[in-house]
A and B are shown apart, each in its own frame.
Chain A
Amino acid sequence: MTVYLPHTIEEATALLEAHPHALVLGGGTDVMVEINFNHRKPSDVVALRNVDELRTWTINNETSSIYIGAGVPYSEMESGELQKVAPALAAAARTVGSPQIRAAGTLGGNLGTCSPAGDSLPVLSALNAEVHLASSHGVRSVPFAEYMVGPKRTSRTATEMITGVTIPKANGWQGYSKVGVRNAMVISVASACLAIQDDMVRLALGSVGPTIIRCVEAEKWLHENFATLTDLQPADCAEFGRRAASEARPIDDHRSTAEYRRHAISVLAQRLLQRSIQS
């Protein structure tokens, strides 16, 4: 049992190559819960806290994109410069756990755990984020849709680590909504991110299926039937909501019911679309 504290991505990937069963630890806010609740017995641990390059983010105005390192904590996304260029991500980050969790938890951790309730994931889906993975054999980038393959299942291999994501700079309205049964510090019962990027409305849903669900049919319906969003009437927004809800694949669990989740999606999608028009 050893804790490794690499300082570079190169060191980290070398450790993962040598210890493919090692636990990769980002902010620890998911993994430590599993350990504390006796659901996981760590053996070797590769803790990324000292890999400074993971904690950086950059805005590239040439490509109009934003690179966010896997080790950037949510608290850094909530406000400031990142909030201006990635407002939906900021809104999602603000809903993660508590201030203490947001100070420790990272985007890489949300991607590593890859729960359908991961708060940032609908945003990454809606923005067609590229997920960057590195191993000692090289780097690759995977579209989010190909990265998340099931509940807590990803296409990352055991010797790969998440180094960061690239998302486009916002060039249209973005919004994020999350339903929980408490006004703070709550796991999402249903969430949605609507982003207008390059004049295309994109909608992604959280907590209502085995993966984040991209509402391709609802998006297509909107695109094919309305030349501009200003043409939309309230009834159209409601129809958009219904169509989004029909794409959800929710289940009953102790947090809510499938019926409520589907209903909530119809409301969230409708309201997000209306807000995008108002703005």
Chain B
Amino acid sequence: MSSVKTRRDVLGTSALRPDGPAKVKGEFDFTSDLHADNMLWGATLRSPHPYARIVSIDASSALKIKGVEAVVTSEDVPGQLTYGLISSDQPVFAKDFVRYMGEPIAAVVADHPETCRRALDAIVVNFEVLTPLTNPEDSLNQSVPSIHPDGNVIRNQKIVSGDITATGPIVVEGDYVIGMQDQAFLGTESALAIPDADRKGVEVFVATQWLHEDQKQMAACLNLPEEKVRLTLGGVGGAFGAREDISLQVHTALLALHVGRPVKMQYGREESFFGHVHRHPARVWMRHHATAEGKIVKIEARFLFDGGAYASTSSAVLINGITHTQGPYKCANAIVDGYAVRTNNPPCGAMRGFGVVQACFAHEGQMDKIATAAGISPVEVRLLNAMETGDALITGQIVESVAPVARCIRETAALPMPDPLSPNAHELDLPGGSGLTAQPHNIVRGVGWGVSIKNIMYSEGFDDYSTARCTVIDGKVTVKFATSEVGQGFVVLAPQIARSVLGLDDVVCDTIDTNIGSAGSTSASRQTWMSGGAVDGACRMVRERIFEKVAAENGLNPLSLVIEDTDIVDSMGTFRIPVLQAVQGSVFSEEFEHHHRATEDLDDDGQGNCHVAFAFVAHRAVVDVDPELGLVKVVQVATAQDIGVALNPLSVTGQIEGGIAQGLGLAVMEEIIVQDGKVRNPSFTDYLLPTALDAPNVVASFVEEYEPQAPLGAKGVGEPPCISVTPAIVAAIRNAVGKDIPRCPVRPQDICL
């Protein structure tokens, strides 16, 4: 009899997503798909002005509309009137002032979305319109009046490292501008709140990145104990940082508690642009001093992040930006000054890359300038300066992580280049595509490089732990966690971990909700490490219990037992039992909290071990440019990424390709246009996302060096793909047209005028 070995979906395999079948059939419940009996719709009244004093709000006409149940304003907020991730500075509803276009002023609840829209139109708000503060440089001017009680400077931090008088024969300088990018997840903000019968508690289904943080902020605003605000993750249609902050959570719960009926809120695309924070637009000035050979001697830098009207995570974004000034390169001497400021522009906060995107765009522009000055290639200058494990950052922190920077660069360089553009190229392969703007002879090709370092996990002393429970009943494994599945694939990884640790194959994920401890946020490339560590820990604890049971029953030493595939064996090789058989009739359940090592705040000179760990990546971009029209087609992006180990290669590839597309967006098309504090393009007609015809061919190589600090040896892979691809593409454009372009996204006029 031959036994057929079936492939097990353990760590290291490209196990398929358990939510895949429901998603392809349209049966997966996104939050926006949820309904409740007797449900009403909520909608938000938003400010048309970037800065104004609210003189009066009159909702009487709105309340007369048939179908309108209630209108709530700041007066109706029972608890804390403000919320915020780091500082509680953002009003649930604007009370005295509106500080950005789109700020919520009131919410209505009615029987139909169209009734809501009519009610919103009927609410009369009298504004005293004020002159908005829109230039972040002005926010630094002490004589400009504060637009918020907390002042116009959210945070200032310096880094002073080594010999700040050092210099070298090569001095290159650049003043870089990074536009405001939107996360543009496809599933807009949505929540369904169901009030308890006594209206002293509420159950909320919401698409979020961090259930417990939402719960905490909501409970404070609703004046309820946290356990009375029970959150369940509704299906999440992408996140990318935009669901870290509160958007409609408090409003939905407040309306539901107010009327005593289930309420659903669902933003349209236009409202979504106003309803969440964006990537900070930034201005980054850098001056690099280098040896004649091109080795970095010193970096001077100044960062200015426009945080918009409210703080959100601006202070952490600032720290991420300035502490990554040097990029993945050795540098002993630096003087950096960074500011995150308040303006009457849209609030900005987390987006994939979190401050490092802005730093990387600048330092990679600088590396190319050093290369030119030293007469070496972009690859050579990067290899010459490549950071290694054990190097000190400008913060004084030693990089303990595996740091295969040179290997990432070399492996990327070894990936095949695309064929040259054919004189008979298909029109869709040319910049301009079906617009038929160009013929092949109009096109020039360019190649550019970008390499980056990114911290993973939260920084500056924050203990962003994660919790998981593993329960085994008759061999059926359930893993429970509050980790937000936003598309990244933790729901496929968690069962893989359990199968590998336990030798059992029947694994399901429990509902993701607040009936377990926090998992921290699905951000900072941290969930594979943190929640992966928690699931791994919980499963290992269960495995110990199983070993204890088996050992006791068989007179063995539990420490001698190991899992081999699906069997428990002892180290002598004399005992073997299938795990499934060993656990029949038993129940095991263990919970585990995974904490990363402690970090610390920066001191006044920006010194301190503020980050947990780092990941690295290299990108090489090949672009075809129409120099006369300024249109670009990104032909190929090659990348080698430091990932630790590939726990699920298919998922890693998905993160790499997806991140590259987002980085491409920031390089050549994605920008929220804000003029005088007003958003001019809050729609997918005018905020352009890469389509199937814009996405480049991606050739990727995994750089696998087991990371000893990580519980599974794997680094987070979510953010690095989108960080250095943007400067790589812009460098390729510069290379094609021979022009210094200091901003992204690159607009056609930046190339051809």
> Interface residues, chain A, CB within 8 Å of chain B?
33, 36-38, 91, 94-95, 175-189, 191, 253-257, 259-260, 263-264, 267-268, 271, 275
Q: Is B432 an interface residue (CB 8 A)?
A: yes
Q: How far is the CA of A42 from the CA of B260 in the complex (A)?
A: 33
Complex CA gap A25/B694 in Å reads 32
Q: Would you call A263 and B688 a contact (CB within 8 A)?
A: no
Most chain B CB atoms below 10 A, which of A36, A256, A263: A263
Contact, CB under 8 Å: B681 / A176: no
**Cβ of A254 and Cβ of B435 under 8 Å apart?**
no
From residue 660 to 696 of chain B, which have CB atoms closer than 8 A to chain A?
Answer: 668-669, 673, 675, 680-681, 683, 685-686, 688, 690-694
From A191, A255, A267, A275, contact of B629 by CB (8 A) = A267
The reply to whether A91 and B686 form a contact with Cβ atoms under 8 Å apart is: no
Say yes or no: A183 contacts B433, CB within 8 Å. Answer: yes
Q: Say if the beta carbon of B270 comes within 8 Å of chain A.
A: yes
Number of interface residues of B (CB under 8 A): 40
Beyond A178-B436, A260-B748, is A183–B431 a contact (Cβ under 8 Å)?
yes
Known: A37-B270, A260-B630. A181 touches B437 (CB 8 A): no
Given contacts A182-B694, A260-B630, list 15 more A-B pairs with CB under 8 A.
A33-B685, A176-B436, A177-B437, A179-B435, A183-B432, A184-B433, A185-B691, A186-B435, A254-B673, A254-B675, A259-B753, A263-B752, A264-B748, A271-B438, A271-B439
Can you give 15 contacting A-B residue pairs, CB < 8 Å? A38-B121, A91-B434, A95-B434, A176-B436, A178-B436, A178-B437, A182-B691, A182-B694, A183-B433, A189-B748, A256-B747, A256-B748, A267-B437, A267-B628, A267-B629
Cα A274 to Cα B433 with chains together (Å): 19
Q: Which 10 A-B pairs have the closest CB atoms?
A: A183-B433, A254-B680, A178-B435, A184-B693, A260-B749, A183-B693, A184-B691, A254-B673, A182-B688, A267-B628
Docked-complex contact A91 and B669, CB < 8 angstroms = no
Residues A275 and B691 in contact in the complex (CB < 8 Å), given A179-B629, A182-B669: no
Chain B nearest CB, measured from A149 CB (Å): 25
**Closest Cβ of chain A: how far from B236's Cβ, in Å?**
23
Please, which residues of chain A bring their CB within 8 A of the CB of B752?
260, 263
Are A257 and B692 also in contact (CB < 8 A) when A37-B270, A38-B117 are? no
The chain A residue sitting closest to B692, CB to CB, is A184
Tell whether B414 is near chain A: CB-to-CB under 8 Å.
Answer: no
Q: Mark B628-644, 1 if CB is under 8 A from A, else 0.
A: 11110100000000000
Interface check B376, CB cutoff 8 A? no
Known: A183-B633, A254-B686. A95 touches B435 (CB 8 A): yes
> Chain A residues with Cβ under 8 A from B691's Cβ?
182-185
A254, B681: Cβ atoms closer than 8 Å: yes
User: Which residue of chain B is the closest to A266 with respect to CB atoms?
Assistant: B628
**Chain B residues with Cβ under 8 A from A33's Cβ?**
685
Kindly provide the distance from the CB of A246 to the nearest chain B CB, expressed in whole angstroms.
Answer: 17
Which chain B positions have C-beta within 8 A of A260? 630, 747-749, 752-753
CB–CB A179/B631 < 8 A: yes
Give the distance to chain B from A101, nearest Cβ to Cβ, in Å.
Answer: 11
A34, chain B: closest CB distance, angstroms: 12
Is residue B20 within 8 Å, beta carbon to beta carbon, of the partner chain? Answer: no
B residues lining the A interface (CB < 8 Å): 117, 121, 268, 270, 428, 431-439, 442, 628-631, 633, 668-669, 673, 675, 680-681, 683, 685-686, 688, 690-694, 747-749, 752-753
Nearest B residue to A253 via CB reads: B680
Measured between beta carbons, the chain B residues less than 8 angstroms from A275 are 439
Bound-state Cα–Cα, A33 to B269, Å? 12
Which residues of chain B are within 8 angstroms of A264 by Cβ–Cβ distance?
629, 748
Docked pose: A260 CA to B436 CA in angstroms: 18
Q: Binding site of A, secondary structure by majority: helix, strand, loop or mixed? A: mixed
Q: How far is the CA of A185 from the CA of B434 in the complex (A)?
A: 10
When chains A and B are docked, how far (Å) is the Cα of A186 from the Cα of B668?
14
Partner of A181, one of B628, B669, B692, B693: B669
Give complex CA distance A38, B270 in Å: 11
Contacts of B680 in A (CB 8 A): 253-254
**Residues B694 and A179 in contact, CB atoms below 8 Å apart:** no
Q: How far is the CA of A176 from the CA of B437 in the complex (A)?
A: 8
The answer to whether B688 touches A256, judged by C-beta atoms less than 8 angstroms apart, is no
Residues on the A chain within 8 Å of B690, using CB: 182
**B749 adjacent to A259 (CB under 8 Å):** yes
The interface residues of chain B lying within 8 Å CB-to-CB of A253 are: 680
A184 cross-chain contacts in B, Cβ below 8 A: 433-434, 691-694
Chain A residues with Cβ under 8 A from B433's Cβ?
Answer: 183-184
Chain A residues with Cβ below 8 Å from B692 are 184
Quote the shortest CB–CB distance from B124 to chain A (angstroms). 17
Question: CB-CB < 8 A to B669: which residues of A?
Answer: 181-182
Contact B681 A256 (CB under 8 A): no
A181 touches B435 (CB 8 A): no
How far in angstroms is the closest Cβ of chain A from B753?
6
B630 touches A94 (CB 8 A): no
Given A179-B631, A183-B693, A184-B693: A255 and B437 interface contact (C-beta under 8 Å): no
- State in angstroms the CA–CA spacing of A241 and B685 once bound together: 29
CA distance A53 to B436 in the complex (A): 32
Q: Which residues of A contact B747 (CB under 8 A)?
A: 181, 256, 260
A182 CA to B688 CA, complexed, in Å: 7
How distant is the Cα of A182 from the Cα of B634 in the complex, in angstroms?
11
The answer to whether A257 and B435 touch across the interface, beta carbons within 8 angstroms, is: no
Complex Cα distance A176/B680, Å? 29
Contact between chains at B439 and A181 (CB < 8 Å): no
Q: Is the CB of B753 within 8 A of A187?
A: no
Residues of B within 8 A of A177 (CB): 432, 435-437
Q: How far is the CA of A202 from the CA of B210 in the complex (A)?
A: 60
Closest chain B CB from A245 CB (angstroms): 13
Contacts of A95 in B (CB 8 A): 434-435
Q: What residues of A have a CB within 8 angstroms of the CB of B431 in the complex? A: 183
Q: How far is the CA of A181 from the CA of B442 in the complex (A)?
A: 17
**Which of A36, A259, A268 is within 8 Å of B437, CB to CB?**
A268
- Are B753's CB and A94's CB within 8 A? no
Q: Which residue of B lies closest to A259 (CB)?
A: B753
Give the chain B neighbours of A94 by CB distance below 8 A.
Answer: 434
Distance in Å: Cβ of A77 to nearest Cβ of chain B = 13
- A182→B683 CA distance, assembly (Å): 15
- Give the docked Cα–Cα distance between A182 and B693 (Å): 8
Selected from A37, A178, A255, A267, the residue in CB contact (under 8 A) with B686 is A255
Nearest CB in chain B to that of A191: its residue: B435
* Docked pose: A206 CA to B690 CA in angstroms: 24
Q: In the complex, A260 Cα to B428 Cα: how many Å?
A: 23
Question: In the complex the two chains form, what is the Cα distance from A134 to B129 in whole Å?
Answer: 48
